[in-house]
Amino acid sequence: MTKLGFVGAGQVGATAAFSCLHQLDVDEIAIVDIQEDLAEGQSLDLAAAAAGLGEVPEVNAGGDYELLDGADVVVSTAGSPRKPGMDRLDLLEKNVGITRNVVEDTFAHAPGAHLLMVANPVDVLTYAAWTISDLPRNRVFGMGSWHDSLRLRFVLSDEGYGTDAFMLGEHGESMLVAKSAADVGDTEPDWADIQDKICGLAMNIIEKKDYTNWAPGVATANMVKAIVENEKRVLPTSTVLQGEYGIEGASLGVPAVLGQNGLERVLEYDLADEDRQQLQDSADKLKKQIGELDL
């Protein structure tokens, strides 16, 4: 039996839950939100959609974390939304408090769950959640660089390149293309232009519709599926690093193997000096933010 929990019933949480119905067999879904009417409305809509997909999961919702009892994976999208022109790190102070409540209440009721952080700024909140939980890093990790990698692959395809490439680092302004690990064809792209287009794509979406939901929802479901179905799939994941790539004291996007044990291991690619330095710079930025927290 597979049970998934979603803390946060907003656009991303609801889309992630729907995407999970598409991608894997789910027996039960629980949606928890401080806005109980929103959670219950999303659950009813989701249950009706599931019927159209030929699925019959039990869908429960409300404001009580007891609904998460027995969950295999819990996805947290709970947090204050990002507004146009707002840096993800501007959200830090407000969302750390929310994260503390999510972590404590989730593991009080679902002590065996894997917690997948999605709310922004996801890398800092992943580190905060891991610290608060006092659990091994394989149990608490985040979705960030895989979302960025989907955008990268869209841009590469649109430009006529191959799409075997991924993003590293912060899910934010210091993210980087892992250029030395990419295989996109015989012609080398203008990587600076590609990265500019990725950043422009993200802000264009925010400016036009105020939020993103489809890509992060699908990316989240990809990660949940890898865990539940023990795929041993390599996905860029916000991971608390413990010496890999010469980095400690921060969580940021690196390639990791996801399976039934959660984040099973980090893959260390032989990055070129430029990529490695950019990754270190991204880590330093995040560590500075983490250092300002009272954890």
Three-class SS of residue 265? strand
What is the residue-averaged pLDDT of the chain?
A: 95
Determine the pLDDT at residue 154. 98
94 has a pLDDT exceeding 90 = no
Q: Kindly state the DSSP code that residue 50 receives in the 8-state scheme.
A: H
Confidence of residue 150 (pLDDT cuts 50, 70, 90): very high
Candidates 75, 45, 68; CA nearest to 143 is: 75
Active-site residues, by number, are 171
81 has a pLDDT exceeding 90 = no
91 has a pLDDT exceeding 90 = no
Q: pLDDT digits over 47-56, tens only? A: 999 999 998 8
194 has a pLDDT exceeding 80 = yes
Three-class SS of residue 98? helix
Candidates 280, 291, 288, 282; CA nearest to 247 is: 280
* CATH numbers and ranges of domains, the chain: 3-142 (3.40.50.720), 145-292 (3.90.110.10)
pLDDT > 70 in the chain, percent: 97
Determine the pLDDT at residue 89. 63
- In this prediction the pTM is 0.96
Q: Which amino acid is at 214?
A: W
More reliable by pLDDT, 81 or 261: 261
Angstrom distance (rounded) from CA 71 to CA 106: 9
Token pair 């993103």 is at which residue? Answer: 212
